Amino acid sequence: MTDEKPLAGKLAVVTGASRGIGAATSESLAAAGAHVILVARTASALESIDDRIHEAGGSATIAPLDLTDGESIGKLAAAVAERWENLDILVLNAAMLGSLTPVEHIDPKEYARVLGLNLLANQAMIAAFDPLLRKAERADVVALTSSVGGEPRAFWGAYGSSKAALETLLGAYADETEHSGRIRVHIVDPGATRTRMRQLAFPGEEPDSVKPPEAVAKAILERLLSEVPTGEKVRIEA
């Protein structure tokens, strides 16, 4: 580990790594010296991020998979455990917006998909990688949330409830692991950020009026390198 590469020798897993905040965070962690396992559904998009990381002198491995398939998550964790001794950083970023609609009009099948990715897949990731996180000298789990997870908003019931449940889940995990002093949990609300999800939610918004994903990635890296308490929820304003 050096000042230039403060994460040298560290291993990170990032979900939703093919674009937006996930891609930017993956590149930021790799630039800091971590080997990053890039997780998302689309192999071609992951290959593009992988190429950018390697061109910048970083190191990464792509892992295309569907996070709603619990069996795939288990296989990924087993493969990581076979090759590496522990996991230092787990970034739970993958999510889907779903339709913005009144609660009484929420489609049950779509709601199940939203909960499946935004909540259940994250619990499955924690369950699968917890043994590797506990083997690290110090491990960090970062979960991306949203302001609507804490402040209900009309038409955001499906997505907001999935994030509210995620925050509760991560808060419990932080409380359960705090005694060890080896796992820190970070609940990060990225705020208004220039992502595809933001564009879907606010189609009339000028993209340049909100911060780029790289600003969120920088803030996440700064938290990982700082002495901050576990279980803290933070909002990134700029």
Is residue 18 within 8 Å of residue 72, measured between CB atoms?
no
Contacts of 20 (CB under 8 A, 6+ apart): 193, 195, 196, 197, 213
How large a percentage of the chain has pLDDT more than 90?
Answer: 88
Is the pLDDT assigned to residue 115 strictly greater than 70? yes
* Residue 111 a catalytic site member: no
State pLDDT tens for residues 168-178. Answer: 999 999 999 99
Quote the crossing angle between the two packed helices 121-135 and 70-83, to the nearest 10°: 20
- pTM assigned to the model: 0.95
Neighbour-count burial of 212, counting CB atoms closer than 10 A to its CB (0-12 exposed, 13-18 middle, 19+ buried):
middle
Residues in the chain, total: 238
Domain 11-235, CATH homologous superfamily name and number: NAD(P)-binding Rossmann-like Domain (3.40.50.720)
Q: Taking the domains of the chain in order of start, what are their residue ranges?
A: 11-235
Neighbour-count burial of 206, counting CB atoms closer than 10 A to its CB (0-12 exposed, 13-18 middle, 19+ buried):
exposed
- Over the chain, what is the mean pLDDT? 95
Indicate which residue of 38, 159, 195, 230 is catalytic: 159
End-to-end CA distance of the chain: 28
State pLDDT tens for residues 205-234. Answer: 898 889 999 999 999 999 999 999 999 999
Is the pLDDT assigned to residue 1 strictly greater than 70? no
Band (pLDDT 50/70/90 cuts) for residue 81 is very high
